[in-house]
Amino acid sequence: MTKIAFTGGGTVGHVSVNLSLIPTAIEKGHTAFYIGSKHGIEREMIESQLSEIKYHPISSGKLRRYLSFENAKDVFKVLKGIFDARKVLKKEKPDLLFSKGGFVSVPVVIAARSLKIPTIIHESDLTPGLANKIALKFAKKIYTTFEDTVNYLPTNKADFVGATIRADLKEGNKQTGYQFTGLDNSKKVLLVMGGSLGSKKLNETIHENLEALLQDYQIIHLTGHGLMDHSIDKKGYVQYEFLKEELTDILAITDTVVSRAGSNAIYEFLTLRIPMLLIPLGLDQSRGDQIDNAKNFETKGYGRTIPEDQLTQVKLLEQLKDIENHRDVIIKQMETYKESYTREDLFNKILNDAL
């Protein structure tokens, strides 16, 4: 029996693969625990969805690519995080560490290396993030979701594994989805998702276009925490801050999606053959990883992209109309995509590469 430490956090994307792999480990008779930040989204997700897993919070700082006074303070947070992680790892004595990335993972990976614990890391985006670039120096292998990502990494450490999709993704029930939302099958369903934190710009653009959009679609709008507009009451339009277990049923009734371009989400849409209009986070809010992801998917013919700074009422409607005009072509192109590794395959590969 193998004992596995998992880490990763900061965004939903830095946790979702772990949420898929941990149950696989347990099903196979192994044990697992998680190391994350004290107040990050990873703690909420692990403790709510995998309550049987022991969660160890550590100190963590943020890694920035720009000059900031906060960098000096965060150096000490990272150093303390290494000390905290090392203490946890010495106590738990795992056989290996699997890291999904995010700033909290760096001190854990460094601590694991100091204790000679083999580490495998995972990069979901097209271009590797700063945290994984640092962590790679201390890891045995890095797995990539996009095939092109290996071009940015040392060939002796990088393996393309494709997207790891959660097991229940294809188990959504259309009838349950319609019942939950109060919608029906009389008109196409447009799902709008602004990411785990929501998008004020995207929300405003949808609200400004509701009359036009409702002529062609019923709309399910995931606004993000605290961003619902309770003054809107229109037939065929429903909104939620976010959804958890209900999301698979919602995806089952979705015909088209407007979304950010986080890699885990867009690969789920691809797997379900849902044409997508992607509005990636801009350079003012990110390092540009979602822009790269969106361009890659648009080039492959899976949907369309609008940069957030070019998002207007006219552009939104034009691009959605273009998707509908080419729906059959887009879906046919999506059908050429083949899933690379099942979660069981990926888990076995982690064990083989680490041990």
CATH number at residue 215: 3.40.50.2000
**What are 243-254's pLDDT values in tens digits?**
888 999 999 999
Residue of 347, 350, 354, 351 whose CA lies nearest to 27: 347
Q: How does DSSP assign 215-254, residue by residue?
A: TTEEEEEE--TT---TT---TTEEEES--STTHHHHHHT-
Percent of the chain exceeding pLDDT 70 equals: 93
Q: In what order do the strands lie in the sheet with 276-278?
A: 237-240, 217-222, 188-193, 256-259, 276-278, 303-305
Is 171 a residue whose pLDDT tops 50?
yes
What is the mean pLDDT of the segment spanning 317-345? 92
Percent of the chain exceeding pLDDT 90 equals: 69
Q: Quote the pLDDT of residue 325.
A: 97
Q: Quote the pLDDT of residue 63.
A: 56
Shared domain check, 285 and 212: yes
What is the mean pLDDT of the segment spanning 281-301? 84
Shared domain check, 183 and 280: yes
The domain tally of the chain equals 2
Shared domain check, 310 and 215: yes
Task: Please list, in sequence order, all residues whose beta carbon lies within 8 angstroms of the beta carbon of residue 186, skipping any fewer than 6 positions away.
Answer: none
Shared domain check, 313 and 239: yes
Is 67 a residue whose pLDDT tops 50?
no
Shared domain check, 153 and 176: no
Shared domain check, 346 and 330: no
Is 64 a residue whose pLDDT tops 60?
no
Shared domain check, 141 and 271: no
Residues of the domain holding 58? 3-165+340-354
Shared domain check, 17 and 158: yes
**What are 14-48's pLDDT values in tens digits?**
898 899 899 999 999 999 999 999 988 899 999 98
Shared domain check, 210 and 235: yes
- The residue with tokens 């037939």 is 235
Is 305 a residue whose pLDDT tops 90?
yes
Shared domain check, 286 and 153: no
Shared domain check, 327 and 346: no
Q: What is the mean pLDDT of the chain?
A: 90
Q: Report the C-alpha gap between 15 and 30 in whole angstroms.
A: 19
pTM of the model: 0.84
Shared domain check, 186 and 155: no
Q: Report the C-alpha gap between 266 and 204 in whole angstroms.
A: 22
**What are 185-241's pLDDT values in tens digits?**
999 999 999 876 667 889 999 999 999 999 999 999 999 888 888 999 999 999 999
Is 66 a residue whose pLDDT tops 60?
no
Q: Quick check: helix, strand or coil at residue 204?
A: helix
**What are 70-127's pLDDT values in tens digits?**
555 667 778 899 999 999 999 999 999 999 998 899 999 999 999 999 999 999 889 8
pLDDT tier for residue 69 given thresholds of 50, 70 and 90: very low
Using an 8 Å Cβ cutoff, are 166 and 19 in contact?
yes
Is 61 a residue whose pLDDT tops 70?
no
